[in-house]
Amino acid sequence: MISQNALHHAEKCRFCWMCRHLCPVQHQTGKELNTPRAKGLLLSMVHKEAQQFDKDMAQAMYECLLCDACTNDCATGYQPPLFIREARTEAVVSELAPESVMHLIDNVERTGNIYGVEKPGFGREGTDVLVYIGEAAAVKAPEMAENLLKLLEKAGVSAKVLEKEPASGVMLGDLMGYTEEVRQMAAVCAKALNETKLPVVVLDSYDAEIMTQKYPEWGFEIAAGVTTATAFTAKLLAEGKLEAKAPLGVTGACHDDDRLARTFHEFEPVRRMAKAAGYDLTEMFNHGKLAKSCGTAVAWGYMPELVTRIAGGRWTDLTRIGCDTMLVANPETWQCLSLCVPEGCRLVDLFGALL
Ligand code: SF4
Ligand code: SF4
């Protein structure tokens, strides 16, 4: 059902509770089933034919944000998202995936994105870099995309955006694992990006992750390179192409999104942007590599109520340190944290704040 490699990880996790306190889904649901250990145990039982992979089990595999907090904390190097993602492939193939998940997959097949709408275009010509906007920003955080483009213009960077930007494949990969459909989607996207011959600046770190981690493995490397929009903006600040603003006298805390934190280990650029936007900085208890997830666009798509609670948990982390200003530079975290901004608190888009 899952590969030997994934099964090896599941077999190790099934004995272990060491990372259970870090799982944001377990925090909010309080369900033992929502620990990496329990998911490993289920898959181990299926392998031993002690239990059948059924709808309930498939449901359990989707109660995970693929946030990698468990992997990051694992002293022995095991990776629950590896077996959870493969179990999702099995769930889809054997028609056991939840209806809400299948609805999103249908949307991706029809429109290229989970939202099931035509992706708004940001097309423009430019000669220095290609900006990849991504589905979440285009549909749910278009102001953030516009702010990034205006910021680049202000810094004298000539930015191109594809009129019809293909999906990167990251959303489908999170929904159904790295199947042939996802690889085909990635191939189309890589071809379109490579045809421009421009270095690619990627707004959503989730897209940047698949482009840098999976595309090369599948033979679709982006030849001119991929940079996150946060790292690129911080570089413009360091080069003096963007000016720092006067202090605002406001203290804020940066939320590190899952994939910047645990795939790219990129923390400083967002903080440099926040300081340049005039904010004094404080930190939430779980930040940097340990940052607690606030949800993802994909998870919001099939379990909006739970993602709203998870995002609420991140707001609680903020208010617990006596802060009311959450600073973000990722469209998916913007989308999730926007769901439940507590009274008196503010969610700030750092690209907009720097304008
Ligand atoms: S990821 Fe590591 S710490 Fe977490 S359950 Fe598996 S073996 Fe234990
Ligand atoms: S990837 Fe995140 S949500 Fe999934 S089991 Fe690990 S800690 Fe929990």
Q: Which of 16, 21, 22, 68 to mutate to test the pocket of ligand 1 (most atoms within 8 A of CB)?
A: 16
- 27 CB-near residues (< 8 Å, 6+ apart): 292, 310, 313
Give the per-residue pLDDT at 1: 83
129-234 adopts what CATH topology?
Answer: Rossmann fold (3.40.50)
The rounded Å distance from CA 64 to ligand 1 centre is 15
Decide whether any atom of ligand 2 lies within 6 Å of the 22 Cβ: yes
Query: Atom 6 (ligand 2): residue with closest C-alpha?
Result: 70
Matching residue, tokens 């901004």: 341
243-354 to CATH, choices 3.30.980, 3.30.70, 2.40.128, 3.40.50: 3.40.50
- Which is the closest atom of ligand 2 to the Cα of 25? 3
Given CA atoms 72, 75, 77, 79 in this order, what sign does their dihedral have?
Answer: negative
* Three-state secondary-structure class, residue 191: helix
Residue 346 pairs with which residues in a beta bridge? 325
**DSSP symbol at 214:** I
Per-residue pLDDT of the chain (355 residues; tens, 9 = 90+): 899 999 999 999 999 989 988 999 999 999 999 999 999 999 999 999 999 999 999 999 999 999 999 999 999 999 999 999 999 999 999 999 999 999 999 999 999 899 999 999 898 999 999 999 999 999 999 999 999 999 999 999 999 999 999 999 999 999 999 999 999 999 999 999 999 999 999 999 999 999 999 999 999 999 999 999 999 999 999 999 999 999 999 999 999 999 999 999 999 999 999 999 999 999 999 999 999 999 999 999 999 999 999 999 999 999 999 999 999 999 999 999 999 999 999 999 999 999 9
**Residues whose CB is less than 8 angstroms from the CB of residue 180 and which lie 6 or more positions away in sequence, other chains included:** none
CA–CA separation, 318 and 323 (whole Å): 6
Check pocket membership of 87 for ligand 2, CB cut-off 6 A: no
Residue with the smallest CA separation from ligand 2 atom 8 is 23
Q: Which two tokens stand for residue 170?
A: 């990251």
Q: Do 309 and 28 form a contact (C-beta atoms < 8 A)? A: yes
Q: How far is the CA of 35 from the centre of ligand 1 (A)?
A: 9
User: Which residue has a Cα nearest atom 8 of ligand 1?
Assistant: 16
Helices (H) then strands (E): counts for the chain:
19, 8
Say how many Å lie between the CA of residue 41 and the centre of ligand 1.
12
- Domain coordinates in residue numbering, the chain: 4-96, 129-234, 243-354
The H or E element containing residue 348 is strand 346-349
Ligand 2 pocket check for 65: Cβ under 6 Å: yes
Question: Which atom of ligand 2 is found nearest the CA of 35?
Answer: 5
Q: Do domains 129-234 and 243-354 have the same CATH topology?
A: yes
**Ligand approaching nearest to the C-alpha of 35:** 2
- Which residue lies with its CA nearest to atom 2 of ligand 1? 74
CB-based contact 128:198 (threshold 8 Å): yes
Report CA(22)–ligand 1 centroid distance (Å): 11
pTM: 0.96
| Residue with CA closest to ligand 1 atom 5 | 13
303 CB near ligand 2 (under 6 Å)? no
DSSP state letters, 3-43: -HHHHHHHHHHTT--TTGGG-HHHHHH--GGGSHHHHHHHH
Q: Which residues line ligand 1 at a C-beta cut-off of 6 Å?
A: 12-13, 16, 18-19, 36-37, 70, 74, 76, 78, 80
Q: Provide the CATH topology of domain 4-96.
A: Fumarate Reductase Iron-sulfur Protein; Chain B, domain 2 (1.10.1060)
CA 153 to each of CA 39, 149, 160, 263, 278: distance values in angstroms, whole numbers, following the listed order = 47, 6, 11, 29, 20
